Amino acid sequence: MEQSVYFDYGSRVTPPGTVGGRFKNRKEPMSLPRESSSVKGIQKCPTGIRGLDEITGGGLPKGRPTLVCGGAGSGKTLLAMEFIVRGARQFGEPGVFFAFEETTADLAANVASLGFDLPALVKQKKLALDYVRIERSEIEETGEYDLEGLFVRLASAIDGVAAKRVALDSLEALFAGLPNEAILRAELRRLFEWLKKRGVSAVITAEQGRGSNLTRHGLEEYVSDCVILLDQRVANQIATRRLRIIKYRGSAHSANEYPTLIERHGLSVLPISSLGLSYPVSTRRVSTGIARLDAMLGGKGFFKGSSIMVSGTAGCGKSSIAASFADSVCARGERFLYCSTEESPEQLIRNMASIGIDLGRHVRSGKLLFHTVRPTLYGLETHLVKLHGMVEDFSPSAIVIDPVSNLEAIGTDQEIKAMLTRMIDFLKNRGVTTLFTALTGNGSFETTTVGISSLMDTWILLRMVESASERNRLLYVLKSRGMGHSNQMREFVLSDRGIGLVDVYAGPGAVYTGTERINQEARDKAAGAAARRNAESRGRELAQQGAVLRAQIASLQAQLAAVVSRRDHEGAEEGARLKALNGDRAALTRARRAD
């Protein structure tokens, strides 16, 4: 009989770095880079996941386990992995990742596309990866057992890299692999206690359960500090991921659902309610890129950080105004984000070149970024998250969403309004001037279909006027908060020299635009000339009449003079004659002496 037995019943001294020493390494909690002073009691461990730290007020509970549950493909593994990788890379906290469902090679390959180089982190001793495989068919249960093997592996991994963070993805595989649920449950309870005692911040993922159960095997029973639910829903054939913090002991948290997105940098959670109406307000003005439009807006253009709506019917020049704005912002050396939901960048650049706006040079200089996407590609929230990401990465000073009305395809008016409210709050908070264009129906010039007027600080309306077999564009400022703006309508003229605003011809009872305006102006000019000519000839006529009258007066006066002189003459003659007569009579009397 031969047997070799190695069984050391000797010393119970356990070397450092083994399970026996597992409580020794617990360190005082480190101060956090982003600790929020408003949160009392609980220390937080930043995840580095965009948005998640905002809605949790600084991160996950430090030194405690957090349960992340969700359905298949909801992003649980990614959240856990980001927590570990970002902890190691950004926060100087090495981590341990235990995968129960994927091999480490698969895991590394899956997250490589997000820019996470797991093998490098392992080499730098910032990360310990382990794949725990439990195959039910290979395992026979023959009596009592515990999970000390798992504890040992965990402890060894934690000590190996001095880990501050641990992720277990997903523990529920144990339920499938190991018989005797009673033992398993007791051991899981012990595991969570153990993790807490070691002072590691842990993320434990679990499959979402049915009905009111958060997890399939009731893990929420053991993790009481923080529970996060990830969820993926499909509405109108568009899938949206959402994240909700179900519970966060000792910390204020919002019960809202937050849209979540898996991007090329990893998870993004969109904080919604953390914003509000308390953004900084600027009195700085931003040129619209159209001198006469600036003049209409109190002489200086938009307010920086304001929201502007340019609405109008099809083809009335909304995009041209947007492009002109983009051109002027970029020309000042600031960055501009152009979100187009209709046209490709190439098409926009080509089209705008036709009205003398060269957007291509700004793209080349990196000042102008185009983001073109069909609205139906994903849900409203996803659009919003994408926008958040781009604004954060590119930090533009102004953006355009052209047109925003296309979002109608993927949401109800109410949803769109809610989304735009968030978007505007976010952009205003960052002082980004936002110009929306909206397509309106023919009938309602002053109502955009989304009913978002109250969100807008400045509203410019474009409308088409049809007359004399022409369609011409009219522009006016419907409202502009905080500035004296023009009440005038202007004709909006697009030419190869750019955008021009021309005074409309406002005659009695009619407004004329286009060639009609030109015609009318010509007609007016002609009529004026004729009237002038008329007046001149009439004047001449009257002068002539005057001259005639004056001539007549002269001749009558001459006659009068003649009459007067004749009367004088004749009077003298008569006197002489009477004198003579009297003289004769005296002579006669004297001659007659006979009397």
**Near another protein by CB under 8 A, which window of 49-57, 171-179, 328-336, 582-590?**
171-179
Helix 104-112, helix 76-90: angle, nearest 10? 80
Shortest distance in whole angstroms from residue 11 CB to another protein: 10
Figure out which of the listed residues 106, 146, 521, 568 binds another protein, where binding follows CB under 8 A.
Answer: 146
**Which residue's CB is nearer to another protein, number 3 or number 212?**
3
Figure out which of the listed residues 41, 143, 211, 508 binds another protein, where binding follows CB under 8 A.
Answer: 143
**Which residue's CB is nearer to another protein, number 98 or number 445?**
98
The answer to whether 493 and 320 have CB atoms below 8 angstroms apart is no
Q: Is 34 in the site for another protein (CB under 8 A)?
A: no
Distance CA 516, CA 532 (A): 24
The answer to whether 43 and 29 have CB atoms below 8 angstroms apart is yes
Q: Is 40 in the site for another protein (CB under 8 A)?
A: no
Distance CA 163, CA 122 (A): 12
Shortest distance in whole angstroms from residue 179 CB to another protein: 8
Distance CA 571, CA 577 (A): 10
Figure out which of the listed residues 34, 153, 196, 216 binds another protein, where binding follows CB under 8 A.
Answer: 153
The answer to whether 179 and 217 have CB atoms below 8 angstroms apart is no
Q: Is 106 in the site for another protein (CB under 8 A)?
A: no
Burial of 219 from C-beta contacts in 10 A (0-12 / 13-18 / 19+): buried
Reading across the β-sheet that carries 336-340, which strands appear in turn? 368-372, 336-340, 398-402, 433-439, 307-312, 458-467, 470-480, 490-495, 498-503
Site string for another protein, 303-322 (x = CB under 8 A): --------------------
- DSSP category for residue 317: S
**Which residue's CB is nearer to another protein, number 7 or number 508?**
7
The residue type at 359: L
Q: Is 132 in the site for another protein (CB under 8 A)?
A: yes
**Near another protein by CB under 8 A, which window of 142-150, 346-354, 359-367, 462-470?**
142-150
**Near another protein by CB under 8 A, which window of 16-24, 274-282, 352-360, 483-491?**
16-24
Distance CA 409, CA 411 (A): 6
Figure out which of the listed residues 24, 27, 124, 141 binds another protein, where binding follows CB under 8 A.
Answer: 141
Distance CA 568, CA 563 (A): 9
The answer to whether 79 and 70 have CB atoms below 8 angstroms apart is no
Tell me the three state secondary structure of residue 166. Answer: strand
Q: Is 6 in the site for another protein (CB under 8 A)?
A: yes
Q: Say which residues have a Cβ less than 8 Å from residue 499's Cβ, sequence separation at least 6.
A: 289, 290, 317, 320, 321, 324, 355, 492, 493
Torsion of CA 567, 573, 579, 584, to 10 degrees: -140
Shortest distance in whole angstroms from residue 81 CB to another protein: 20
**Which residue's CB is nearer to another protein, number 54 or number 159?**
159
Q: Is 155 in the site for another protein (CB under 8 A)?
A: yes
CA-nearest of 74, 375, 24 to 242 is: 74
Give the angle subtended at the CA of 402 by the CAs of 401 and 404, to the nearest 5°: 70
Residues in binding contact with another protein, number by CB under 8 A: 41
**Which residue's CB is nearer to another protein, number 71 or number 177?**
177
**Which residue's CB is nearer to another protein, number 1 or number 255?**
1
The residue type at 560: L
Count CB neighbours of 361 within 10 A.
Answer: 13
Q: Is 8 in the site for another protein (CB under 8 A)?
A: yes
**Near another protein by CB under 8 A, which window of 152-160, 345-353, 415-423, 445-453?**
152-160
**Which residue's CB is nearer to another protein, number 104 or number 256?**
104
Shortest distance in whole angstroms from residue 25 CB to another protein: 14
Q: Which of residues 402-441 bind another protein (CB under 8 A)?
A: none
DSSP 299-310: TT-EETT-EEEE
Tell me the three state secondary structure of residue 534. Answer: helix
Q: Is 12 in the site for another protein (CB under 8 A)?
A: yes
Torsion of CA 140, 141, 145, 150, to 10 degrees: 30
Shortest distance in whole angstroms from residue 18 CB to another protein: 5
Q: Say which residues have a Cβ less than 8 Å from residue 259's Cβ, sequence separation at least 6.
A: 240, 241, 242, 243, 269, 270, 272, 379, 381, 382, 384, 385
Figure out which of the listed residues 28, 138, 496, 595 binds another protein, where binding follows CB under 8 A.
Answer: 138
> According to DSSP H, which parts of 359-476 are helical?
360-364, 380-394, 413-429
Q: Is 19 in the site for another protein (CB under 8 A)?
A: yes
Figure out which of the listed residues 33, 92, 115, 149 binds another protein, where binding follows CB under 8 A.
Answer: 149
Q: Is 331 in the site for another protein (CB under 8 A)?
A: no
Figure out which of the listed residues 105, 109, 112, 152 binds another protein, where binding follows CB under 8 A.
Answer: 152
Q: Is 189 in the site for another protein (CB under 8 A)?
A: no
Figure out which of the listed residues 148, 466, 573, 574 binds another protein, where binding follows CB under 8 A.
Answer: 148
Cα Rg of the chain (Å, integer)? 47
Shortest distance in whole angstroms from residue 220 CB to another protein: 22
- DSSP category for residue 521: H
Figure out which of the listed residues 31, 37, 38, 142 binds another protein, where binding follows CB under 8 A.
Answer: 142
**Near another protein by CB under 8 A, which window of 170-178, 242-250, 330-338, 456-464?**
170-178
Figure out which of the listed residues 101, 102, 130, 231 binds another protein, where binding follows CB under 8 A.
Answer: 130
Q: Say which residues have a Cβ less than 8 Å from residue 427's Cβ, sequence separation at least 6.
A: 305, 307, 391, 399, 434
Residue 416, Cα to own-chain centre: how many angstroms? 12
Q: Is 16 in the site for another protein (CB under 8 A)?
A: no
Figure out which of the listed residues 109, 139, 529, 563 binds another protein, where binding follows CB under 8 A.
Answer: 139
Shortest distance in whole angstroms from residue 190 CB to another protein: 13
Q: Is 277 in the site for another protein (CB under 8 A)?
A: no
Figure out which of the listed residues 41, 72, 140, 496 binds another protein, where binding follows CB under 8 A.
Answer: 140
**Near another protein by CB under 8 A, which window of 54-62, 137-145, 357-365, 436-444?**
137-145
Contacts with another protein, residue ranges (CB under 8 A) = 1-9, 12, 14-15, 17-20, 130, 132-134, 138-153, 155-156, 174, 177-178
